[in-house]
Amino acid sequence: MTMPMGEVPQVRLPRPYLIFVGDAQSAVAAKTGAGVCHWAPEACTAQWRLGADAYDIGLPDMRPVEAVAAGARALLIGVAPVGGKLPAHWVPCMIDALEAGLDLVSGLHTQLESVPEIAAKAVELGRNLHNVRHSGLSFPVASGRKRSGKRLLTVGTDCAIGKKYAALAIARGLRDRGVSADFRATGQTGIMIAGGGVALDAVVSDFLAGAAECLSPDTAADHWDVIEGQGSLFHPAYAAVTVGLINGSQPDALVLCHEPGRPCISDFPDYPIVPLDVAIPRYLDIARLTNPAAMFVGVSLNTSALPEAEARALCTVIAGETGLPTTDPLRFGVEPILERMLAWA
């Protein structure tokens, strides 16, 4: 089925979830589960960790049978392994979940039904397998046509740096002010939170910008689509997704997301994080291909590793250096960015 312009893709997933954290050792590895837990707590029953040393996303620890008794309807794979593949040693866990009465929800590149044991058990038990990254839709080539309404896109100096969290916080902040706004999900975790969107890293590259256009159609002149960023322009593996998303979303406003103290691109030690004064003009060069008026309206920091006083001081320093409102959305809110957006628009 070809996705028609003007209709944002929707998904229907069984909730609440038992979040599978598995043997993930860090917040980066468990970002899917942590994100769903943070932004959709009402959709989460418990977590399933394979050992006490696995990352804790803050939910009660349960195994599938316990979670079903507590009301869970699906096991959501809350880990994002490099390459998006399902590790072989997780397969028995998936079988256990199916046997306990849970459907499976996955955002991995590996399609669940491509694993014979999982496919056979799901058929045997009448369970459903939900591959969030694979919509089954096809998308048109981008038109490049300017669309009505306003758009903000979060971009970053690296992956897993706060682009989704910043976008969700900004969309919520706009709505709290009475401004019409929608969060537009572009990755598996965002789709699980929002109930709709397109996993852009699973779209064939020629149609990626077209998918981004479908994701953010014509809207009212005073409406904001707040679009979740993907990858990074400076990432040696994922920059292509970033470029396609920028081209297709045609952002009026951009927010740069950054983690102070991160020395290099995650899992790529030979690629240092670029300075903000390098990142900003390079992003604008790309954005102004399809929207010559594109502007940055803020910097979003992930200061979770810093004491509060140091984090506040750093926001002040970066705001002075860049001339942009700078905040940590989760610690300090997004009011400075909202003020710039609404005054500029």
Domains of the chain: 17-131 (3.40.50.720), 150-344 (3.40.50.300)
Which pLDDT value is given to residue 188? 87
Answer whether 0.85 is exceeded by the pTM: yes
Which pLDDT value is given to residue 6? 54
Half-sphere exposure of 239 (CA within 13 A, CB side): 11
Residues of the chain with pLDDT under 50: none
> DSSP of 38-88, one letter per residue?
HH-GGGEEEEEESSTTS---SS-B--HHHHHHTT--EEEE----GGG---G
- Report in angstroms the alpha-carbon separations of 313 from 163, 258, 310, 320, 326: 22, 15, 5, 11, 11
Which pLDDT value is given to residue 8? 61
Half-sphere exposure of 320 (CA within 13 A, CB side): 6
Nearest-angstrom CA–CA distance, 225 and 184: 7
Half-sphere exposure of 229 (CA within 13 A, CB side): 34
pLDDT tens-digit readout, 247-284? 999 999 999 999 999 999 988 999 999 999 999 999 99
Which pLDDT value is given to residue 82? 72
Type and span of the H or E element at 202? none
**253-258 and 224-227 as β-strands: parallel, antiparallel, unpaired?**
unpaired
CA dihedral sign of residues 140, 142, 144, 147: positive
**Which one, of 207, 73, 243, 83, lies nearest residue 135 by Cα?**
207
